[in-house]
Amino acid sequence: MSLGHTILGLLESRPRHGYDLKRAYDERFGRGRSLHYGQVYATLSRLRKNGLVEVEGTEPGEGPERKRYIITEAGITDVSRWLDTPESPEPYLRNTLYTKVVLALLTGRPAAELLDTQRAEHLRHVRELTRHKLAGDLVDQLVCDHALFHLEADLRWLELTAARLDELAAEVRR
């Protein structure tokens, strides 16, 4: 996800201070991973340098004055272009788990145990996300569904790989 575009989108809805942007980001997109203030201000500085945001005014606050940022027409155009551009599906052709399985086979380690351990970790994560989804609001449910669908695909891959482990071992040894 592009942090700059996300901040531009938040600013398009209304002018905000850096603190407000961080809070809005964390509420809407930071589930499990909040944004650091330094990221917000560094991104705002870059957006301002590129002419995508401007400082509309300043207000006294607890500490330094608080700058209120607004999006420029160029910023609106930029975020519109970003929203209109489809995301490229990530095929995961370079996969750490696959690499571990192959290296386990190459070095004579028990690849089946590696797959079993990974399956147990995936299932633990599925249970955790399911609990979070059931207790959450619509945003939590949608975010958890996205993660759960990816975990389900990983679990299918783990099962397929376990079923074809002997064949893969022969291929790796060649």
CB atoms within 10 A of CB 26: 13
Evaluate if residue 65 carries a pLDDT over 90. Answer: no
Q: How distant, in Å, are the alpha carbons of 31, 78, 110, 117 from that of 103?
A: 34, 44, 10, 16
Q: Is the pTM of this model over 0.75?
A: no
pLDDT at 97 over 90: no
Number of domains the chain is built from: 2
41 and 106 fall within a common domain? no
The DSSP element (H or E) to which 19 belongs, if any, is helix 18-28
User: Is 145 contained in some domain?
Assistant: yes
Instruction: Say if residue 67 is in the same domain as residue 8.
Output: yes
- Tell me the percentage of the chain whose pLDDT exceeds 70: 95
The secondary element (H helix, E strand) that includes residue 21 is: helix 18-28
Cβ–Cβ contacts within 10 Å for residue 42, how many? Answer: 12
Domain range for 12: 3-84
Q: Report the CATH number at residue 9.
A: 1.10.10.10
Same domain, 101 and 75: no
Q: What is the pLDDT of residue 149?
A: 95
Q: Could you say which of 21, 51, 84 is where a domain stops?
A: 84
Alpha helices in 50-164 (DSSP H): 73-84, 96-106, 111-135, 138-163
Q: Is 67 left (phi over 0), alpha (psi -120 to 50) or beta?
A: beta
Tell me if 132 is assigned to some domain: yes
- 136 and 70 in a single domain? The answer is no
Kindly state whether residues 162 and 107 are assigned to the same domain. Answer: yes
Mean pLDDT of the chain: 90
Residues 36 and 80 reside in one and the same domain: yes
Structure tokens at 107: 């070095």
